[in-house]
Amino acid sequence: MKGHTIKEWILATRPWSFPASAMPVIVTIVFVWSQGYQMSWGLGLMALVNIILVHAAGNVWSDYHDYKKGVDADDTYGVRILTDKQFTPKEVLALSVTLQVLAVLMGLLMVWLTGITLLWFGLAGIALSLLYPPLKYAALGDLVIMACYSVLPMLGTTFICCGKIVPEVLWLAVPIGSITVAILHANNTRDIETDQRAGIRTFPILATRSEAIRIYVCELIIPYAWLLFMTLLHLVSPWTLLTIITLPLALKNCKQMLACKTEGIKAIARLDEATAKLQLAFSLMLALGLTLKALT
């Protein structure tokens, strides 16, 4: 792997998307602490680094397969590192394998430090990451993303941090997972025509763009409605409603998606990145709310 700067290698992993994986772990760490569990902050940090490694490896693994499949071409939006010849397919594949090996080694270390239960979470995550391209091509990408970047890492992180699975964290997995799925949904809604040309099926293709637009809006509204509903049922702290501060950003993204009807796909060319920024803002406010709940 020669001829590229460290910055270029990092950019090849699509770091703008890392809030999708990092924030579920961060929120879970804060949640476990706010609930009063005895926990290991060091292991929590390891979990955070590990999930980012897995995510980075999965990104370039997907980019490699999208390029070989013809999903990413000269006239498509999104990732350009292969279509613009910035990297060769061999380099991208090598980068993915290297990151995956590092993630596996770190994962095995965490299993040794915590317990065999974590191994099953790790195996499930790695399997879904490797199988993501063919599953995405069969319209199952949304389900994989919900599992890999919401349910599995949040449950797994509770075990890593305090030695036991805390199922109550799943109340928070719903809003976080909904926004994460919306990142993929924005990407796939934009790419309906080019994905069809490549002979693959994504969820927006099955739903049609008109319905896909409505689904995206729902995916961004659900997190706020969910936390309000959970608060009324006394299942989460009222402090979690601090996330309402980010509602204007969510509405802006919804407006951008709705503009696709009249302005075409150029209106949502970078909506996936904007949705990742929403995930970052929403999750930070959620973590702040959990912190205030613990301190008051």
Domain locations along the chain: 6-295
pLDDT of residue 80 exceeding 80, the answer is no
Q: Please, which residues have CB within 8 angstroms of residue 71's CB and are 6 or more apart in sequence?
A: 65, 137, 191, 194, 195, 198, 200
The angle formed by the CA atoms of residues 97, 270 and 18, to the nearest 5 degrees, is 40
Residues 210-226: tens digit of each pLDDT: 999 999 999 999 999 99
**Does the structure show a pLDDT above 90 at 288?**
yes
Residue 5 CB neighbours (<10 A): 8
Average pLDDT over residues 16-20: 94
Quickly state the pLDDT bin for 204 (edges 50, 70, 90). Answer: very high
The pTM assigned to this predicted structure is 0.93
Q: Which CATH code of 3.30.420, 1.10.600, 1.10.10, 1.10.760 fits the domain covering 6-295?
A: 1.10.600
98 vs 71, residue with greater confidence: 98
Residue 37 region, left (φ>0) first, then alpha (ψ -120 to 50), else beta? beta
Give the closest residue to 294 by CA, choosing from 29, 17, 51: 29
Q: Residue 138 burial by CB count (10 A; 0-12/13-18/19+): exposed, middle or buried?
A: exposed
243 neighbors 289 (Cβ within 8 angstroms): yes
DSSP 149: I
Q: What is the pLDDT of residues 250-283, one digit of tens each?
A: 999 999 999 999 999 999 999 999 999 999 999 9
